[in-house]
Amino acid sequence: MIEVRARSGVARSTMWSIGGREWATPMLLDQDSDGTETTVSPRTNGRTLHLGDVKIDIVHDMLYPYSYLQREPALSSAIIGDGVTMVRAVPDQIHELDLGDSEIVVLGNAFELRRDPEAFVRTLMALRTHMGHGRLLYAPGIAEPANMALLSYAGVDMMDTSLMRMRAFSGEITLPEGTFALSADLGESDPYEASRAAAIREVNLIKDLIVKGRLRELVDMRATASPWSVAVLRLMDTIGYEFQERDISVVGGRIACNTPQAIQRPDVRRFRRRIREVYMPPEGKRVLLLLPCSARKPYSSSRTHRIFADALFGMRGSHMVHEVIVTSPLGTVPRELELVYPAAHYDIPVTGDWSCAEVAMVRSMVEHIVSFGYDTVISHLGHEGTFVNDAIDCIDTSHGRPTSGDALRRLRSTLEGALADLKSSGIDYNVAQMTARARFQFGPGAEALLEDARIRGKYPFLKIQGDEGQRGMLTPDRGLISLTLEGGRRLIPEGRWIVEMEDFKLGGSLFAVGVEHADDRIRVGDEALITRKGELKAVGVAQMRGSEMMDSRRGVAVKVRHRSK
């Protein structure tokens, strides 16, 4: 039995129960080492896994190399053993393979796939998807300290030390920084023991970062150790975006975007995509004000943005100004979304130099925001605004120094001029701001949550209040709207974020074993609407993505906040 204890994207920290004992993954299997409980040893026709007193034989009778399968794709194969299934297949045929009831799936041609990064990524994605969440994936013969984080990030649960042993025979030592010829300068006499020790430290670090939700940063660091790892990571972020995104939480902690590849992180790309595909500015915003980002998050807590706020303070019609922060790697962050993950959580190195990819991305995102249509566009971006200002029709008020006294006076004067002839539409701007947040979070139709509502409280602790009571509240720690039962009832007709439970009385959180059906669009951290026979019974926060709720038999599916009596 496998229970997921923590996640960091596709990577999982699980507890696997077998033989009366529990084993934690990601797991490193040693090869023929005395005194190690988790080992893998060769046999005449395969290998044997040793997990304490439990022995599991892995049949290794695969007749054809992967290169031959590419020419003859009908020759995909799977061999089911006692608790283990060995597979070798091309990606587009993996979904046809019978995996039996095995809890371990072995990618038998993992070593061959190393020659082709794209084939490796496509195979891993197809196999991980076909396996579901109740099985462990073992990729033998390819792990080394430099790529173990990447393998775990891609969905591998079990690795071994066989590649390290093979390289040790050639006098090579494998470290997180790469593979090196053994020399006296390294201070090691036994290359295998040194490599094995480095691998053990690395797997422990991987487990810790999965729990913290920060494995991606280690992957970014380690990938530079080899061209193969860089290629795999880039492919994971391009052809593997959909595969990764479904397992990425919509909430999280601090993240570091310190490498060029961070612009392609799936959580970062998802934010940009939702701005393009779902987001609508608050009603009544007539003047667009583009502002630079700040090191401190959320932006409004920074000294720079407090200065900008002072410049707008007391200005007639300031509620018609739409503040949008321009930044890498997110592109554009509307002020009302500054608490949303990862807008309130990212750190980037600031040098004033923008890569071609960053420039193209930021210009595209700004152009999209401008396309909503504003009477006036004001750029107060400083030196970073040069390439933005060239792409749009705007008034530059910063002249390179957005916080200088002259720049702030120009900003206020320009805003006053832009607002002078504009008449307020009479709408409730607090409700309009919250409506924009709701639509970004829940999608089209979320406007129903704010119909005939009022906003109470002081930012960021804002409550959505209706005549029938509270419908939800903006929670700064999550950056999202937390629903009450009444709020959930207003969203039920949209048919999204729904988890249908089986016919029993819910006493606390909803466990996966009690889930009958779940919306596949649900991600970890999303608000979930729990129904029974179509009637809303509870609301809470998803602890699994929708498909995992249906696929798993253990673990909390939804942490319940409110439930009906």
Residues 496, 230: Cα–Cα separation, whole Å: 37
Position 425 in a domain: no
User: Does residue 69 have a pLDDT over 70?
Assistant: no
Q: Report the CATH number that the domain containing residue 449 is assigned in CATH.
A: 2.30.130.10
Instruction: Give the pLDDT score at 108.
Output: 85
Q: Based on the number of CB atoms within 10 Å of its own CB, is 408 exposed (0-12), middle (13-18) or buried (19 or more)?
A: buried
Last residue of a domain, one of 189, 219, 245: 245
Residues 168, 111 within the same domain = yes
The one-letter code for the residue type at 76 is S
Residues 235 and 289 in one domain: no
Same domain, 156 and 225: yes
Higher pLDDT, residue 21 or 302: 302
d(CA 360, CA 274) in angstroms, rounded, equals 18
3-state secondary structure 370-423: HCCCCCEEEECCHHHHHHHHCCCCCEECCCCCCCCHHHHHHHHHHHHHHHCCCC
**pLDDT confidence of 61, banded at 50, 70, 90?**
low
Verify that 358 and 501 share a domain, yes or no: no
Asked if pLDDT for residue 66 goes beyond 60, the answer is no
Containing domain of residue 317, as a range?
A: 255-419
CA 211 to CA 233: how far, in whole Å? 21
According to DSSP, the residues that pair with 558 across neighbouring strands are 510, 542
Per-residue pLDDT tens over the stretch 522-565: 999 999 999 999 999 999 999 999 999 998 888 999 999 999 97
Is the per-residue pLDDT at 74 higher than 60?
no
Q: Average the pLDDT over 158-178 and give the result.
A: 90
**Statement to judge: residues 493 and 559 lie in one domain:** yes
pLDDT at position 211, please?
A: 95
Q: How far is CA 536 from CA 51, 209, 559, in A?
A: 45, 36, 15
Q: What is the pLDDT of residue 203?
A: 96
The residue type at 319: H
Is the peptide bond preceding residue 266 cis, with omega within 30 degrees of 0? no
pLDDT at 87 over 60: yes
304 touches 407 (CB < 8 A): no
What was the pLDDT predicted at 101?
87
Q: Indicate whether 394 and 455 sit together in one domain.
A: no
The radius of gyration of the chain from alpha carbons, rounded to an integer in Å, stands at: 27
Domain count of the chain?
Answer: 3
User: What are the pLDDT digits (tens) for 104-152?
Assistant: 999 988 888 888 999 999 999 999 999 988 899 999 999 999 999 999 9
Nearest CA among 437, 467, 432 for reference residue 452: 467
**Segment 406-459, tens digit of pLDDT:** 999 999 999 999 999 898 878 999 999 999 999 999 999 999 999 999 999 999
| Segment 305-326 mean pLDDT | 93
Quick one: pLDDT band at residue 298, thresholds 50, 70, 90? very high
Confidence check: pLDDT of 90 > 80: no
pLDDT band per the 50, 70, 90 thresholds, residue 505:
very high
pLDDT at 37 over 70: yes
> Is the pLDDT at 363 greater than 90, yes or no?
yes
Tokens representing 403 are 């916080």
For residues 290 and 391, state if they share a domain: yes
Whole-number Cα distances in Å, 308 to 82, 193, 347:
66, 58, 21
Q: Is residue 434 part of a domain?
A: no
The pLDDT value given to residue 185: 58
Query: For position 48, which CATH number holds?
Result: 3.20.20.105
Is there a domain that residue 30 lies in? yes
Q: Is residue 68 domain-shared with residue 141, that is, in the same domain?
A: yes
Q: Return the pLDDT at 247.
A: 95
250 inside domain: no
Q: Mean of the pLDDT values across residues 227-232?
A: 96
Distance CA(472)–CA(11), nearest Å, equals 32
Tokens of 453: 């509502």
Residue with tokens 């061999």: 79
pLDDT per residue over 453-480, tens digit each?
Answer: 999 999 999 999 999 999 999 999 999 9
With helix as H, strand as E and coil as C, how does 160-180 read?
Answer: ECHHHHHHHHCCEEEECCEEE
The mean pLDDT value for 63-69 works out to: 56
Rounded to whole angstroms, what are the CA distances from 484 to 68, 455, 490, 527?
A: 58, 15, 10, 10
Q: Answer whether residue 433 is part of any domain.
A: no
Inform me whether the pLDDT recorded for 43 exceeds 90.
Answer: no
424 found inside a domain: no
Q: Give the domain CATH number at 272.
A: 3.40.50.10630
User: Are 15 and 141 in the same domain?
Assistant: yes
Percentage of the chain modeled with pLDDT above 70: 94
Q: Do 153 and 26 reside in the same domain of the chain?
A: yes
How many Cα atoms occupy the beta-carbon half-sphere of 3 within 13 Å?
Answer: 13
Q: 203 and 319: one domain?
A: no
Cβ pair 453, 474 in contact under 8 A: no
Between 475 and 71, residue with greater pLDDT: 475
Is residue 556 situated within a structural domain? Answer: yes
* pLDDT at 62 (0 to 100): 58
In percent, the amount of the chain with pLDDT more than 90 equals 69
Give the pLDDT score at 32.
Answer: 64
Q: Residue 21: inside a domain, yes or no?
A: yes
Contact, 428 vs 284, CB < 8 A?
Answer: no
Q: Are residues 239 and 269 in the same domain?
A: no
- E strands, 1-149, are 2-8, 11-18, 21-25, 27-29, 38-43, 46-51, 54-59, 77-80, 84-88, 104-107, 136-138
Range name among 35-49, 60-74, 165-179, 352-366 with the lowest pLDDT average:
60-74
Q: What is the pLDDT of residue 405?
A: 94
